[in-house]
Structure 1
Amino acid sequence: MDFFTDIGGFVMTPLYYVISVILVGFHNVLGRVLDPNSGAAWVLSIVGLTLVIRAALIPLFVKQIKSSRNMQLIQPKVKELQKKYGHDRERLAQETMKLYKETGTNPFASCLPILLQMPIFFALFRLIDQASHGNPRGILTGEQADQFGGAELFGRIPIANTFLNADGHLGVMALAAVLVVAMTATTFLTQRQLMSKNMPADALSGPYAQQQKMLLYVLPVVFAVGGIAFPIGVLFYWTTSNLWTMGQQFYVIRNNPAPGTPAFAAKQERDRTKAARKGGDAAAESTSSAPVEEQAPPAPRPSQRQQPRKQTRQQRKSSGGQRAAGGSTEGGKKK
């Protein structure tokens, strides 16, 4: 028994220091604005701790997304192997693992973020529990441990209490119940979002689909049952982590969905609409920015030929005589 205790201490002690450093760092900053003894300062410090841990796990989340996508895309090949080697379970397992290796797929990658968070989760659990008994862990001083263990939200809800040890405190029971429901709902919605929007039709049947459906219903039940034994501070950590996961997954599914999924079709439709709108805006801009051509002045209209006036007979005779006299005069000059 001492052996396992030593192993547990060897693993948990570094986590106590890492968690307490981040927690105390946030608390020192928030303590300048809020009352350092208040539950709000310590709860917000727990939220800050959650954000730091989840940000550090982003590379692992990206790897999880890639592996999950590969699992979806190779489902047709998995079905072919099942039809071909369904009579030989050992050969089927060998060929399936070979396919996973060739495609760089890890069927358990979806569980990695949860598995890696569990030690952190239990370390925070122990940190709060021991602080409530006046036993500092990590870099927490005795004063900080007393503040952390005795911090109360709204001046009357200790964040170290759980639903089970509320001792009839309705405020503790109500807040713990709300956080357990929020933690369970966010877990369920995150998994359902993945299955309904980012899984192709081929992946909705077979072993992988069964695994996802099992996680869809089993994980929320596990969190709901276990949540009533978690301190309120730990419930804030897990609920914040679930909200991060849901938002992060929504962003990835919306902007980089797996081919052949409803999310992929929706993204294509958005891209077409955006391209059409952009093309229309560009055409309108080019039309409005084009220089207005100066209009050429209208061509002058041809002048109308004046019609000769009508003359009377007497006037015609008179003009004819004048032309004859002028002609004779001009001829005399030439001579």
Structure 2
Amino acid sequence: MDFYSWPPIAALLDGAYGLVTALSDAVEPIAGTAAGLVAVVVLTLLVRVVLIPVGVSQVRAEYHRRRIAPRLAELQRRHAGDRETLAQKTMELYREEQVSPFAGMLPLLAQIPVVTLLYAVFTHPTIAGHANALLGEHAFGAPLGTSFVGLTGASAGVWPAMLVYLGVLALIAIVTTVSRRVLTLPQPEGSTAPTGMLRALSFLPYVTVVFAAFVPLAAAVYILTSTTWTVAERWTLRRLLDPARRTGGSARPTTSH
């Protein structure tokens, strides 16, 4: 059974289809043949505006985790041989300081349903029993419903679609590189995370480029727009919410109890 044919999911998919179609029709007088692509960009911006409060909580959580880093390091030293006690004490510290260890995942988790819906909208020939007109949408000669991997297997009509997709993937890689350089915070005093591990983890965002190569162009454009928004939003919020900037000096770390 097709997951997307289940009535509640089919209704949700049809609603997403209607929204993208309405946005495309609205911008067509200005965007012309790229109306579908512009509609995806507008949809992305609408989603990210709704998620601004989540971004604020994420940045605040970053500073809270840095503030309690020395106490976490002390717990790790004190209970290094007892993983169960360490886990218990760590969660107690998070609860005491009202810090969520999962706050950084919220924006990503909140957007997974949107990317999933976009993937389905631009890959299913029929939606809720009617033909999917969005599959005929193109942007600069590239079909919005085709992936980069799909293009590599095509025998004809690859260009200029391949150039468009390569451009989108290159832009995602560039934005990801900028995010690594601009958004990576220095390790707080007392941090015990291995430098090699942190360096390896810093390359994880590039997995997004690989993922974008397997999804339809519309979903890849969503990823590009959302990633760009993340860099701008995080850079702005960190300066607005930085405790050191608000107090006019360096925020003092919390001492161990």
Give the corresponding residue for 2:81: 87
Q: Between 5-14 and 19-28, report the one with greater CA deviation.
A: 5-14
Question: 2:147, 2:214 within 8 Å by CA — same for their partners in 1?
Answer: yes
Q: 1:152 aligns with which of 119, 130, 138?
A: 138
* Partner-residue secondary structure (3-state), 1:118: helix
Shift of 1:191: 4.3
Give the corresponding residue for 1:239: 224
Q: 1:255 aligns with which of 235, 240, 257?
A: 240
Give the corresponding residue for 2:63: 69
Question: Closer, same or farther in 2 for the Cα pair 1:258/1:53, shift >3 Å?
Answer: same
Are 1:179 and 2:165 counterparts? no
Report Cα offsets for 1:74-119 as digits up to 9, x if no partner. 0011011112111222111111110011111111211111122112
Shift of 1:170: 3.2
* Partner-residue secondary structure (3-state), 2:123: helix
Q: Distance in 2 between matches of 1:22 and 1:268?
A: 46
TM-score computed with the length of structure 1 as normaliser? 0.65
Give the length in aligned residue pairs. 245
Report Cα offsets for 1:191-232 as digits up to 9, x if no partner. 442324xx45426x3349888655421231x21222221211
Shift of 1:175: 1.7
Shift of 1:53: 0.7
Are 1:30 and 2:17 counterparts? no
Q: Note the 1:8-27 alignment, pairs <5 A.
A: 9=6, 12-13=9-10, 15-27=12-24
Q: 1:106 aligns with which of 96, 100, 104?
A: 100
Q: Between 226-235 and 94-103, report the one with greater CA deviation.
A: 226-235
Q: Distance in 2 between matches of 1:11 and 1:245?
A: 31
Shift of 1:242: 0.7
Matching residue's letter, 1:79: A
Shift of 1:42: 0.6
Shift of 1:41: 0.6
Comparing both chains, which one has the higher relative contact order based on Cα–Cα distances under 8 Å and sequence gaps of 6 or more? Answer: 2
Q: Distance in 1 between matches of 2:29 and 2:44?
A: 21
Question: Closer, same or farther in 2 for the Cα pair 1:52/1:137, shift >3 Å?
Answer: farther
Question: Closer, same or farther in 2 for the Cα pair 1:15/1:207, shift >3 Å?
Answer: farther
Give the corresponding residue for 1:45: 39
Question: Closer, same or farther in 2 for the Cα pair 1:19/1:69, shift >3 Å?
Answer: farther
Q: Which runs of 5+ in 1 are unaligned?
A: 270-335
Q: What is the aligned-residue RMSD (CA, Å)?
A: 2.9
Q: Distance in 1 between matches of 2:227 and 2:172?
A: 7
Q: Between 41-50 and 205-214, report the one with greater CA deviation.
A: 205-214
Q: 1:194 aligns with which of 183, 207, 220?
A: 183
Question: Closer, same or farther in 2 for the Cα pair 1:75/1:51, shift >3 Å?
Answer: same
Q: Which runs of 5+ in 2 are unaligned?
A: 250-257
Q: Distance in 1 between matches of 2:13 and 2:197?
A: 33
Matching residue's letter, 1:179: V
Report Cα offsets for 1:50-87 as digits up to 9, x if no partner. 01111111111111112222111100110111121112
Matching residue's letter, 2:242: P
Question: 2:59, 2:238 within 8 Å by CA — same for their partners in 1?
Answer: no
Give the corresponding residue for 1:296: none
Question: 1:78, 1:96 within 8 Å by CA — same for their partners in 2?
Answer: yes
Question: 2:59, 2:241 within 8 Å by CA — same for their partners in 1?
Answer: no
Matching residue's letter, 1:65: V
Question: Closer, same or farther in 2 for the Cα pair 1:188/1:94, shift >3 Å?
Answer: farther
Question: Closer, same or farther in 2 for the Cα pair 1:59/1:212, shift >3 Å?
Answer: farther
Taking only the aligned residue pairs, the percentage that are identical comes to 24
Give the corresponding residue for 1:125: 119
Bigger-Rg structure (1/2): 1
Shift of 1:47: 0.6
Give the corresponding residue for 1:170: 159
